[in-house]
Structure 1
Amino acid sequence: MSRSPVQMLVDEASQTFKPGGPFAYHYARGKLGYDTIFHEMLRRGLLPQRGQYLDLGCGQGSLFAWLLAAGRLYDRGQWPEGWAPPPRPTTLRGVELMQKDVDRAEQAFGAQHPVVRVEQGDMNAVDFGQPDAILILDALHYFSHEQQREVLARIRRALPPGGVFLTRVGDASAGLRYRICNGVDRLVTYSRGHRLPRLYCRTLKDWVGELERLDFAVETEDMSGRKPFANVMLVCRVPH
């Protein structure tokens, strides 16, 4: 049976992590194969075609392997029909708190990769620089509401006109679906070696209001699919 283009993309990206051992490889396969936000950001062309990307809380760099694999498959004519052409970022910079994840990223990409750089650091403290796109996937709720506001304000100041901030949050107004979502999130966090954290939750309305006050144009899309979750993708653009 032939593989679908998405399956080929998952295979191509996850190969990057084989040098890091079975956990790194299978974690990437699971994340990229079943987490639809990775599929949607490429299918819809949500990220800038060129420029510098910053992934805050990047883990082992699964997103970076995904984006680089997308370019290779596109060049080989194996791109999914109807999807936007993949982006070609000039720089992929990741910041990750857990040193174990940083080590796995270095094993995957090497210390001298021409595009990828993953560093250990706290998104509440590092300099964001001046990227064209910033991503935070499933990490904002680990910080206090005050820290969330400060990080979002710093993201807004760092992005240029036309820049994109892409994030995923849980909608705290979603009742049981949100509690299930949080339970799964805590389990995955624990499996990666983190201590179980306190979560600082918000409703979707509150998240959108916070971002619009910073003059982002915000688009929302449910990311739960058929799962009983409350995940929402926020695509936040800086007006020209």
Structure 2
Amino acid sequence: MSTAPGGSPSGARRSAQGRGAPAPRAFLNTLRADASRRFWAGGRFAFFHAWGKLGGDPIFREVLRRGLLPSGARLLDLGCGQGCLFAWLLAAQRLSERGQWPADWAAAPRFQSLRGVELLARDVERATATFAGQHPLVQVEQGDMTRVELGQVDAVTILDALHYVDHASQERLLRRIRAALPPGGLFLTRVGDASAGWSFRMSNWVDRAVTLARSHQRPRLFCRSLGEWQALLTGLGFEVETEPMSEGKTFANVMLVCRVPA
């Protein structure tokens, strides 16, 4: 596939332009390119990290396809990294406004605000370089998600980060999230299922390796079985749906869609 300036797959872009309901693969290629391009402002690493993450992780697609995030929401992403989710959502909104949206997908969400909290200073620096002064909806700050003030929110996401804090801190954070969400509010997370045997051990090994490479520290991981996650969340008053979210990889990732009863 040829590549346009800024890392955009030009063939995918041509195939998606001017079509009211683009084919999913062409559309996803265009969406990935548009979202990733924003990160050139944060440097080469920021761009290629976004390019790989947004192209290889099915949860980004499913969030949009299924319409999981409510439109008009104040979204808080805890452990947001350099803000890949925000770039993805903003690119989706732009494509939808141009009439480029799959006909069988839920409508693209719009947001009142997009706030992220990230512990790693380098990720916050990349996010700041990417979004500061460019989009008024986005705010990314450095902080510990277990201690930060949650504020007024309608939806909270924690993607692949809950297992970095100890079990007691997990429970306190989830209790605070439940208290911060209004009736009908959404908490979306992805966790590893510690009861999944070999696939869980494989995903854990990859997680440790990636974290060591990025932070230069050996992480301590605090995992639970899927049943334990469900019991914890339902005990806090959430209605919980689960869906495997590894798609072709030998991992034990599960998406948990947790809603506050209306």
Give the TM-score of the pair, scaled to structure 2. 0.89
Is the aligned partner of 1:62 residue 2:84?
A: yes
- Which of the residues 89, 94, 101 maps onto 2:116? 94
Partner of 1:216: 238
Q: Which of 116, 135, 141 is equivalent to 2:138?
A: 116
Size of the aligned set, in residue pairs, is 240
Aligned 8 A contact 1:96 1:118 in 2: yes
Instruction: Please report how far the alpha carbon of residue 191 of structure 1 lies from its aligned counterpart in structure 2 after TM superposition.
Output: 2.8
| Contact residue 52 and residue 90 of structure 1 kept, 8 A | yes
- Unaligned ranges ≥5, structure 1: none
- Which of 159, 172, 182 is the equivalent residue of 1:137? 159
Cα RMSD, aligned residues only: 1.1
Q: Give me the identity figure in percent.
A: 60
Determine the C-alpha separation between the residues in 1 that align with 2:81 and 2:212.
13
In structure 2, what residue type is equivalent to 1:42? Answer: L
5+ residue gaps in structure 2?
2-10, 13-25
**Following the alignment from structure 1 to structure 2, what is the Cα–Cα distance between the partners of residues 159 and 66?**
23
Q: Given that residues 142 and 199 in structure 1 are in contact (C-alpha distance below 8 angstroms), is that contact kept between their aligned partners in structure 2? A: yes
Identify which range, 218-227 or 186-195, moves more after superposition.
Answer: 186-195
- Who wins on radius of gyration, i.e. which is larger? 2
- The aligned counterpart of 1:176 is 198
1:3-60, CA deviations, whole angstroms, 9 ceiling, x for partnerless residues?
A: 1000000000001100111110000011111100000000000011112000000000
Contact kept, 8 Å, 2:212 with 2:219, in 1: the verdict is no
Partner of 1:36: 58
Secondary structure at 1:173 match in 2? coil
Deviation for aligned residue 1:196:
1.9
* Residues 1:185 and 2:207 are matched in the alignment: yes
Question: For 2:255, what is the secondary structure of its paired residue?
Answer: strand
Deviation for aligned residue 1:193: 2.4
Give the Cα–Cα distance (whole angstroms) in 2 for the partners of residues 46 and 184 of structure 1: 27
Shift of 1:122: 0.2
Q: Which residue of 1 aligns with 2:45?
A: 23
Deviation above 3 Å: which 4+ runs of structure 1?
none
CA displacement, residues 127-154 of structure 1 (integer Å, 9 cap, x when unaligned): 0012000000011111111001000000
